[in-house]
Structure 1
Amino acid sequence: MGLVVSHLSIDCTDPNALAGWWAEVLGWERAWDEDPDDDEVGIRAADRSAEWLFLKVPEAKAVKNRLHPDLRPPDGSDQATELARLLALGATPVDIGQGPEVLWHVLADPEGNEFCLLLRTPAQVRADGD
């Protein structure tokens, strides 16, 4: 049996703000009470299957992420709808050399951390057997 992932840790300058932003994006909940002075803020999926921990660091992000999340539109939605929602929440398009013909969108959160919005929903992936 392999190890179990506890959480993904993300360095940031404002853990409360970034955790709140990602909780809104993912539809997750805070993993513990909100405190504006906290140096660590966690969010988690409602079923507790995943948790992200936001850690305060003094420096701003300076280079491309070595690790980033790939997100799918939820069943019942689509990429265009979710892209519009993410942009309205403050995500920004990022060019990391992906080229214009890819089927995903590369975006950055308010602190510049890259992530991708994929084309297909989980149901579409299951239907295709991928």
Structure 2
Amino acid sequence: MTSRIAALSIDAVDPRTVADFWCRALDWRVRDEQEAGIEIGPPDPAQPGIDVLPVPERKTLKNRLHLDLRADGTTTEQELQRLLELGAVRVDVGQSPDVPWTVLADPEGNEFCLLGTAVQDL
């Protein structure tokens, strides 16, 4: 027997904005919404999701854990443009200019990466 990831948690001053961004970015849906937070995930409830939890303070340091995304059914450049249009921003966390990924942040500054190789190119 082993453990399974049930959910990742993201702290947010504005959980609705962060949950909406990730739902659009991942084509997920809200599974549950309560005062204690918003649970989002893919249509299959057996798959892990993300819990967006309210906190009073804004993010101040680089994330210790982040998501790596890969374009699926489109090019990496098209996916980068889509994520930027959804509200992501490019960020510098000290990566060198020749890395094969793009570091981005969601509307509250939580970093994530868009990998340079699309799913269909693996």
The verdict on a shared fold, with TM-score over 0.5 as the criterion, is yes
Which entry has the higher C-alpha Rg, 1 or 2? 1
The 4+ residue runs of structure 1 with deviation greater than 3 A are: none
1:31-70 aligned at under 5 Å gives the runs 31-33=31-33, 38-48=35-45, 49-70=47-68
Rounded to whole Å, the distance in 2 between the matches of 1:30 and 1:77 is 24
Q: Work out whether 1:99 is the aligned partner of 2:96.
A: yes
Give the distance between the partners of 2:6 and 2:93, measured in 1 at CA. Answer: 29
SS of 1:70 mapped into structure 2: strand
Q: What is the aligned length?
A: 121
Which residue of 69, 77, 80 maps to 2:77? 80
Q: Matched residues, percent identical?
A: 45
Matched residue SS, 2:32 = coil
Amino acid at match of 1:82: E
The aligned counterpart of 1:123 is 120
Unaligned residue ranges in structure 1 (runs of 5+) = 126-130
CA drift of 1:30 comes to 0.5
Structure 2 residue runs without a partner (length 5+): none
Task: Supply the AA of the counterpart residue of 1:57.
Answer: V
- Determine the C-alpha separation between the residues in 2 that align with 1:70 and 1:92: 15
Secondary structure of 1:31's counterpart equals: strand
- Structure (1/2) with the larger strand percentage: 2
User: RMSD between aligned alpha carbons?
Assistant: 1.2
1:71 is matched with which residue? 69
TM-score scaled by length of structure 2? 0.93
Aligned to 2:9: 9
**TM-score of the two chains, using structure 1 as the length reference:** 0.88
CA contact (8 A) 1:15 1:39 kept: no
Question: 2:20 corresponds to which residue?
Answer: 20
By how many angstroms is 1:2 displaced? 1.2
Residue identity opposite 2:62 in structure 1 = K
Q: Which amino acid aligns with 1:67?
A: L
Residue by residue over 1:21-66, the C-alpha shift from the partner in whole angstroms, topping out at 9 and shown as x without a partner, is: 1100000010125x6xx34001011223121000100000000000
CA contact (8 A) 1:104 1:116 kept: yes
